[in-house]
Structure 1
Amino acid sequence: MAVKTREKDLDFIVDEMVDVVENSKDEIFHISEEARSEHEQLLKELDYTKQKVLQYIDDGDKLEQNVRYSRRRLSEVSKYFDRYTEDEIREVYETTHELQTKLAMLRQEERALRTKRDEIERRLQNLDQTIKRAENLANKISVILTYLTDDFRQVNEMLEEAKEKQEFGLQIIEAQEEERKRISREIHDGPAQMLANILLRSELVDRTFREGSPEDALNEIKNVRKMVRTSLYEVRRIIYDLRPMALDDLGLIPTIKKYIATIADYNNIKIEFLSIGEVKRINQKYEIAFFRLVQEAIQNAVKHSEATLITVKIEICTKNLNLIITDNGKGFDPDIKRDKSFGLMGMKERVEMFDGTIEINSAIGAGTKIIIRVPYERALV
């Protein structure tokens, strides 16, 4: 319960952080868009101002020529004023003054436009920097957002996986204890009881031989021999359940064949087996691992899938071992985590120990297919 509470708290914190970052990203986007809009308007204004400056320069140059001409005219009138009437002299003075005034105003407006142009260019440079900073900040926030939404989720998944592995470890310990109890009961109820009976019957043989006839003693000896055989069979069965002796004596393929035949006969189910590649011994730890993988996969199919046909194929390739187990049972959804699904988890753990991969393909009503690939060059004897 405490673990689930911590997971919910972590999810809440991550969601809050994601909301804050997303809102910040939206605000930066709006700032960037406003800066871009202002940038476009200033570009238009700059273009218009530059055209006006050029127009004022052109008008000023023309007006300056008129002023020079008027000044020369004024100089001539002043030098030979006795040749001109008073009205002509006044007109020349007024025209020259008016032209000079216009030129001065025009040059002043031109300087104002130049100043405005320079100010617009400075504002454009600042806006360019603002837009670039906003884009860089937006990119960094996108990275942070990705980290929050993906990497933090992965952390949560890792916590969940760690929790599952912890439960799996506890399940293994419980299974070990249950297995010890089962073996203890089987030995107590089977071989131990039989050995006690053999001891009693041996005393009966001794008494019969001394007090009765040799024929009666011989019959008791035969009964003792049968009990010894039964005890030996029970001991071998218990040992086989713990670890098949054929795995040490014959190897992986013959042991799997024998196991499949026994399971198929006992459960009245059809199990097909196919071995591809050279049948040869491989490293013992790989033989044990693959036998347990086959054992677990078949037990899952028999117990849970309601299958009528199970197919087991093992490939001994040059660089890896492949194991494919399929059934035509009811299947399941691999994306839905099931409580206490420690069988598949144990298979995954075992495969990962050998740097292998396991792929589980299944769907409701479509059966199940398990594909296992394990590198095994190091496993060659």
Structure 2
Amino acid sequence: MTAPTHPRTSDELIRAEEPVLAHNYHPLPVVVARAEGAWVEDVEGRRYLDMLAGYSALNFGHRHPALVEAAHRQLDRLTLTSRAFHNDRLAGFAERLAGLTGQDMVLPMNTGAEAVESGIKLARKWAYDVKGVPADRATIVVAADNFHGRTTTIVSFSTDETARSGFGPFTPGFRIVPYNDLAALEAAVDETTAAVLIEPIQGEAGVNIPDDGYLAGVRELTRRAGCLFVADEIQSGLGRTGHTLAVQHEDVVPDVVLLGKALGGGIVPVSAVVGRREVLGVLHPGEHGSTFGGNPLAAAVGTAVVELLETGVFQRRAAELGEVLRDGLAALVGRGVVGFRSRGLWAGVDVDPALGTGRAVSERLMREGILAKDTHGSTIRLAPPLTITADELTSALASLEKVLAVDA
């Protein structure tokens, strides 16, 4: 195949993907070529306000100067050693991240799904080595409507048939209970339970926020039962909800926290398992690993991310602008919006089904220069970069109002 002799248009690039890319995504028909802050630009030069921020991977916006500088500086020195050797960036990254999250130890990985898989392995190893669960009997309790990734183990405990269908046989050892139901959770926990694994806020399910006291209840229940509380903060963490971690809304400290997405600053994939020494200390050389986990480039960018969060500026911005988002959405209830859930700069918006699916609304917003994404049915999610301004956010809400008008 010969390379095109001219720059290809958006339509041409989308058509070119069709025969050569696996169809595991259904993206909106926009082809991004450049980005800065909260804005992206397609190949024709049309600008869009990014109200998704890479599902929280771009919490600090596109190409944040401090993060780009950290990456450039490290690219000129060292990018990868593998974990066969030490590198001069990893210790500092682990120290800063442990301090930021109030935990003891860090296990660096790459993707969010890898962090979840690592958390599962850790919980099981801890159950056998520390709790004394008989070999191969450990169970982990999870919540219905969860989204923790798409590996074969993780989809084994998904309740989303699109994620599960056709990928069995499934990994045993998981018990599924309703989200936000402490009584059901308590009934599912027994002497074989290694951990309770939940999202403090369920993102993919439509930004489902539990009742006040639920997370504190999970913490107390797991403490009484002698099992671990593992919080998946891959989407909800690192400033998104107005705190460094979403569990901090209830002053809860889990045994293990799973991080990813924003930890790489939108530049490189970085994830981590952070937790108590008693838990992460069960790992010994050869029992778990990753060639790229903790690589110098990732550690440099991750450290720069932690430095941004240590200022508290982004957490405060998410809290303050979250009020603008909440008030703007509240004003649309009964005017195309039938309900919404928000915390910080994160919202799940339920659109009147008579006005279209979430996909249809997202396409209308795209034509207005706003990028958002549907989740299920007529629900869309909004998660702009924490660098967005109040004026930009208000403009996006005005566009949502426009596309939900009856004559849209």
Task: Output the TM-score relative to the length of structure 1.
Answer: 0.24
What TM-score results when the alignment is normalised by the length of structure 2?
0.23
Higher normalized helix content (fraction of residues): 1
Structure number with larger C-alpha Rg: 1
